[in-house]
Every structure is written in C-alpha cells, then in structure tokens.
Amino acid sequence: MILIVFLLPFIIYVSSLNQTISLGDSGEMVTAATTLGILHPPGYPLYPLLAHIFTFIPFNSPAWRVNLFSAFAGALTVLFLYLLIYRVTSSRLAALGASWLLAFTPTFWSYANYAKGYVPFAFLLSILFYLKVVSTNKAISALALVAGLATCIYMQFMLLLIPVLIIFVFTRINYLKLLPLFLIGLTPYLYLPLRALHDPYLNWCNPCTWGGFCEMILKKGYTWELGQAGLIQSLNQVKLFFALMIKDFTVIGVALGSLGIGIGLTRKRKGSWFWLISWIVLWGGVCFLSHFPIGEYTEKIMKGFFIPSYLLFTYWIGVGISFFKKIGQESFKLFLIVTLIFLLIIVRYPQCNRRGEEFASEYGRNVLVSLPFNSIIITHTDDCSFPLYYLQSAEKLRPDVKIVVYDLIMVPWYRDQLKRRYSFDIDPYSGSGTKEGDILALVKQVKQPVFCDRRAYLSLKKLPLNFSQWGIIYKIGKDPQWLKISENLWNSHYRYLSVFRQGIYRDIAVRDLLEIYSNCLNDLAVAENNEGKTLKAISNLRLAIQFNPDNETAKANLKILTK
C-alpha cells in the first residue's frame, strides 16, 4: 500500500512535468540548482543544495532534472501525510483518500511539476508533522532538526513558532534542550556567505559580507510592505483562501475536513488543538502579514503560500473520512475512493499539465537569438530576466550576451556586480535618483550595442534616446535595417510552438508574456503597411490576434486593412 500511495502521484507528476522552465521564479530556481547559486532574499539555501543532487541525472534537460525534484518531494509529501493520518485514525482508507485528495488538488499538483520551493517545503513540513504524532524522544529530537532545515527552505515555517510556544506552555517537553538541534538545522545558511565568496553566476546580495548577509536574511528591498492596505485587504485574502479551498478540495472535501475538525474537538482527540491552531496560524499569518496588492495576480501569488495550511487541512479530511470506517464494506469504499480520485485526475489533468509548456524557454531563446554578438540586453521583471539566466548559465546559450536587470540597477550590490563582471561603472551617476537615469548613464558609457525587452522599453521610451524595433526586443539607437531584420527574425528564427498547444498549463503570466509577442507583431504590421507590404501586414496582424485574442488594436488595424 505504501508504495502505491507514493507511486500514483509520482507517476502523474512526472507525466505532466515541465520539460523546461516555467515563468516566474522557475528559471532562477533551476539556475541556482544547476550552478549552486544564491537565490533572491531570504536565500532559501537548502533548496539549491537538495535540487543540485538531481542535476546529476544523466539525461534530459537541466530544467527537467530540477523539476523532477519537485515531483519527488511532492510524492513523498503525500506518503508522509498518509503515514500521519493512518497513525492517528488507524484507517488506511481515510489516509489514502485524504492524502490522494491533496495530491491532485490543482494548487499542489501544479507546483509539483516544476521548479519552485513550495512543495519541497511541504515535504519537510509533512515529515515534521509526522514526527510530532510519533512523539518518541528520538522523534522529538529529529523534529527539532527538521524544523531548522524547513526554515532554510522557506521562512514561512516561523509562523509555526506560535503553536510550538503554546505546546511549550502546556506540556512538559523541554524545548530549550532541543535548541542545539534546531540550530544545527540552520547550518545551511552558512552556504550563503561561503558560496558568495566564489561569486557564482547567481549571487543575490553578495552575502559574503555581513551587510550583504543581513540584507539577504531580512529581505531588504525584496518584500511587500506590511500594512500596505490594512484589514480590508487581509479579509479579502481570507476570502480568497476559502474560495481556493473549495476549488481545490471540492465541497465534499471541505465538508469532510470540517467534520474532522468537529470530531477532533468534541471527542478531545489528542493534539487536536495543536493541529487546529497551526492550521489557522498558517493561513491566517499569510493573509494578515503578506498584504499582496489586490488584483489579477493575487491568486497566482498567494496560492503557493497556502500549501502548508493545506497539509493540515488534509489531516482533518482524514479524520472526517475515518468517521465512516464502520459504515459499509471496505472493498466498496476503496472502489469509491479510487474512482473519485481518478475522476479528479482526468478532469484536472489539462489545467495542471506542464508538459509542453515552453513559453518561458521559447521567449528566452527568441530574445537571445535576436541579439548580435557581445550585446547588452536590459530586461524588466522576473518573467523576462530569469529565462535568460537559465539559458545562459545552465544550457550555455549565448555566454557573450551581457544581461542587465532594470529592476536592480539602483541596488548597490548589483551595481558592484555589474562593475566586477562587465566593467560597467554606474557609481558616478548614482545621483540621478531614478532607474531610467542610471540606464541612460550606462548607455552613454558603453560601446557595445544595447537592447532592451519590451517591458523595459515601455519604461525607457520617455528618455532622450532613439529606439528601433528588433523583433520582440528594441535596439537603443536608430537602425535603418530594423524592419528587414525584424521580418527575418519572425520568419526564420523565432520559435513559439507552445502558443498553439492545447491542454497545457496557462495562467495570467503566460497571457501577459503572449501580449509582448502580440504587441510587437502589431507594431511590425503597421510599419509593413506603411512600406506598402499590406499582405505581410495582414498576416502578422492575424498572428498577433492568435497570440492575444484580446488585442483590440490589432483587431482594429486588421479590420481597416481587410475592408
């Protein structure tokens, strides 16, 4: 049974595993794992150390190997939850149904098939929760060690200190004796300054200095401001959490979890208050401390933070299912659970399937193939920067290109890094006080051709500079050959097959990335029409609408040309 509990989700995760990177932090995560680099604050030092083990797999792409780490960690999380629930309820069916229900929630599944830290963190939490239930002296000692390790992969674990302190008050366990083991678990943080001494490809904050290390751990300049929108925004995020719960676990799953909470509290099941308080702290802490701006991206950003609370709700679902263990035949209940789980897999597979999702890697390749030798590319936002990091460092594509991140240009450690690696000395111009001013100073300083992606272009076009469209990027400076070069890139070099694939994962970040293609094609079509190339313009406008069916400008232009 244990092997089956692990194998089913693992096989499904691998079958839907992304073969390359995804948008968001994925490219950065794979880069750090492949090169043993240093991730963005607070550093997550345990992640690259564990994920790096999977880079030794002798086949498939570097990204696929690191993505496999998430699938493996996800399946192990499901297994430990099964063991936890079985130990508490003595019901294999309850443990099986609850753990598999979590395994195939859209949120957990979609994070288990690409490189991201949420699922590996959930794996460590599942071990920690299981050890809490075992409660032998050795288990409690191991729990302290795992708690330290969990903090090294995700600092959200610190929220659990609240229920831990409650246990300290109401139990006889001497947690002070466990402090040395917890501190041993924190030793991966030494990786940050030690690795920074070698200046790896990815080296956020350069934490080999005390100031850099503190900036890394405290997330200075890389966090949302607490209290940014207050109570109303927090309550909206609570509303989002429960809406996601119903969407992920279904109404039946939420009902079973609520039943489990009621059973645990009314029958005074051992440890019930700890599980309940921990669950509330994990989702409540996220909702009341994060304060992400309300908008379309809120659900995309927030749902990963809710995974730890999902683990504890899965425990309650198991308790709820166990209420029916004396009702009906075991064989029929097993058939019912397996049937329902497979129906969930079939229905949810298209929305969670990342196999064939190449939006990020295709975009990155298209940017790099657009650039002449020894160029500088200014990128804006993670979705545009991290694919270039991955392709250049892990796949060794275009090492001659110098990548400058618009968002970091005013950060002191990043300026030092540009000076150290590329001899770009922006310090004399730091008095400009704006990112745009520092970019202007950089452009005036260098002799290499400078390009920027579209998002950077939208921020820089107000500067006293000329821009020439260059496929999906922009060259800073006038170039009379830009139209011919752009057409050649689109006709002969760009690859965008994933755009037209059906049944693969898409989210708002994918939509926004496809808008870049669509808007650049529209601009190209306008220029082609002005040059008398009406048929080419019509063809590119139709392609622009395929990339983004909501591109009203392209639709209007197409309507004019096809009258």
Question: Where exactly are the structural domains of the chain?
Answer: 2-352, 359-483, 507-563
Q: How many other CB atoms sit within 10 Å of the CB of residue 87?
A: 12
Question: Of 116-125, 340-349, 494-503, which range is least confident?
Answer: 494-503
The structure's pTM equals 0.91
Averaging pLDDT over each range in 285-289, 435-439, 473-477, which range is the top one? 473-477
Distance CA 563, CA 558 (A): 9
pLDDT at residue 456, rounded to an integer: 93
Mean pLDDT, residues 81-88 taken together: 95
User: Taking 70 as the threshold, does the pLDDT of residue 262 lie above it?
Assistant: yes
For residue 329, what are the contacts with CB-CB under 8 A and spacing of at least 6?
none
Q: Which of 456, 525, 452, 457 is nearest to 490 (CA)?
A: 525
Per-residue confidence band for 195, with pLDDT thresholds at 50, 70 and 90: very high
Per-residue confidence band for 101, with pLDDT thresholds at 50, 70 and 90: very high
Amino acid at 132: K
Please give the residue that has the higher pLDDT: either 275 or 515: 515
Mean residue pLDDT across the chain: 88
pLDDT at residue 410, rounded to an integer: 87
Omega prior to 42 cis, within 30 of 0: yes
Q: Could you tell me the end-to-end alpha-carbon distance of the chain, in angstroms, rounded to an integer?
A: 66
Tokens linked to 376: 């500088």
Q: What is the pLDDT of residues 534-547, one digit of tens each?
A: 999 999 999 999 99
Distance CA 160, CA 171 (A): 16
Q: What is the pLDDT of residues 381-415, one digit of tens each?
A: 889 999 999 999 999 999 999 999 999 988 889 98
pLDDT at residue 225, rounded to an integer: 43
DSSP state letter for 225: P
User: 554, 522 in Cβ contact below 8 A?
Assistant: yes
Mean pLDDT, residues 504-510 taken together: 82
Q: What is the pLDDT of residues 110-147, one digit of tens each?
A: 999 999 999 999 999 999 899 888 878 888 888 889 98
